[in-house]
Chains A and B, each alone.
Chain A
């Protein structure tokens, strides 16, 4: 009798422990799941090359907002042209800045982890302190937009204003500055965001996807200009 009771108590304790463990695990899991859902956000940017007039307001605003020193830049507008006969001349404008690759070639090669992919925003960033300046990431970026910041001596590039405007709850500086609304910024994971709506409605392209970079900067191709082979 005694023995049986002891065994029962043992069994009960064991099963209680088991249940506690399982439920605990379950809670931990669901919490983790919730966390993941809450931060499951991937910021993206669209540059509409039809709307862009090449005014450089975006790159000027970027320099100011992010304290980018002279001689280097996080954002440049490249122009091509003119196409056509005067007075019907056109230029093509393309945005040269970090493409926020999901394939993140720069992060993969960084020996210290200074180049990193922020899981809560999907933004690829640089940890200034960890960077030793080996230049490996600069060579690895197929878009050749990384540079050494002459002040911090660390690798630097566009981070969608993660440390400046986004922290203030605002849109990136270039997006706010653009007079023609050529830039659209938002969360790809939110089905109702403006970026998702524009991307669904308008044909768009990305640069150098054949290298497995999976960029989060989308472009709407200019209709003007000539057809290139």
Chain B
């Protein structure tokens, strides 16, 4: 069986990229919120890391939606997804969540960048002041809503696949959690990489804060991956066949063990522990660790999408 072409394959790599982008957007904005509320406060917008996260979150969502639309067989009819809803369809619910998420995202960004925006406007348009003041009044609500929607978006990338009874490996209750956690860790990695590229201090308090969260996240991800596959193997039948086919010998087996487990999880974990132990963080350490974990998450999405569709119930 060729790793990229087989009879039961329906969704190709663009969907994996879409899932990756939705996850990284949700993760990045979660870290922007956390950094603002626990570390930086009012001056959060000055931090390169927060800025990186605030760039990644909307851009990733737009790019993801763009890919999703181009990938339709009738891209010009995409508006029908926005007009017609089906409450039993995970995709339909996901599109609704994505839309509200974007509204909350921009409202929150407006609160975050209130000062620079107002400075730039220089009282030219009183409406802007009014709107921003209204947003600030509701900031707590907007933040809460945004975090809930971001978590929903992250989980949705998993539910989209786990709703498919056709494929026993995808139709798995652990998948949404796995994608949520790996999406959040990709958000952390994206924030760190973007932050240091935008001249953020690689030994700054933001980096320390994110690294402290990243270590438990990686451990949790490993535990979820373990549960995911052991669960499938113990279920027997086609679930077992699917799992063994995926992580056994072959192209995707190499991707899983070498790419997802070693490069994507074990190496970032080792680097993180090393950086926590040794005193100073350097640009290269932070950048390489983050790149490894981003790469790992992208491979994980492709790995699950392709191997998941190989075995039919």
Contact = CB atoms under 8 A, between A and B. Distances in A.
A75 B166 CA distance: 19
Contacts, number: 87
Instruction: Summarize B's interface: helix, strand, loop or mixed.
Output: loop
A212 interface: yes
Contacts of A136: 89, 91
Interface in B154-188: 163-167
Interface stretch (A39-47, A85-93, A107-115): A107-115
B10 A138 contact: yes
B309 A130 contact: no
Interface string B1-39: 000000110110000000000000000000000000000
A139 interface: yes
Given A132-B74, A132-B81, A140 B163 contact: yes
Contacts of A107: 88
B130 interface: no
Contact of B164 (A111, A113, A139, A212): A139
B74 A135 contact: no
Interface string A130-159: 111111101111101000100001100000
Interface string A176-199: 000000000000000000000000
B309 A109 contact: no
A138 B72 CA distance: 13
A69 to B, nearest CB: 14
B312 to A, nearest CB: 7
A110 B86 contact: yes
A190 B73 CA distance: 40
A46 B235 CA distance: 33
Interface in B253-293: none
Contact of B74 (A105, A113, A133, A144): A133
A109 B11 contact: no
A131 B74 contact: yes
B258 to A, nearest CB: 28
Contacts of B8: 144
A136 B162 CA distance: 12
Contacts of A110: 86, 89
B78 A132 contact: yes
A133 B72 contact: yes
Nearest to A149: B73
Nearest to A104: B88
B312 A135 contact: no
Most chain A CB neighbours (cut-off 10 Å) among B7, B73, B90, B313:
B73
B187 to A, nearest CB: 26
Contacts of B102: none
A114 B84 CA distance: 9
Contacts of B165: 105, 140, 142, 211-212
B249 interface: no
A111 B78 CA distance: 11
A108 B167 CA distance: 16
Nearest to A116: B86
A153 B7 CA distance: 19
A11 B38 CA distance: 68
B201 interface: no
Interface string A153-167: 110000000000000
B84 A130 contact: yes
Contact of A148 (B73, B85, B92): B73
A139 B313 contact: no
B105 to A, nearest CB: 22
B80 A109 contact: no
A109 B74 contact: no
A135 B84 contact: no
Contacts of A111: 81, 84-86, 89, 91-92, 95
Given A108-B89, A111-B92, A112-B80, A132 B72 contact: yes
Contact of B166 (A114, A142, A154): A142
Interface of A: 105, 107-114, 130-136, 138-142, 144, 148, 153-154, 208, 211-212
Given A111-B81, A211-B165, 11 more contacts: A107-B88, A108-B86, A108-B163, A111-B86, A112-B80, A114-B84, A131-B74, A132-B78, A139-B10, A140-B163, A142-B166
16 contacts: A108-B86, A108-B88, A109-B89, A110-B89, A111-B95, A114-B80, A114-B84, A132-B72, A132-B74, A132-B80, A133-B73, A138-B10, A139-B10, A139-B164, A141-B166, A148-B73
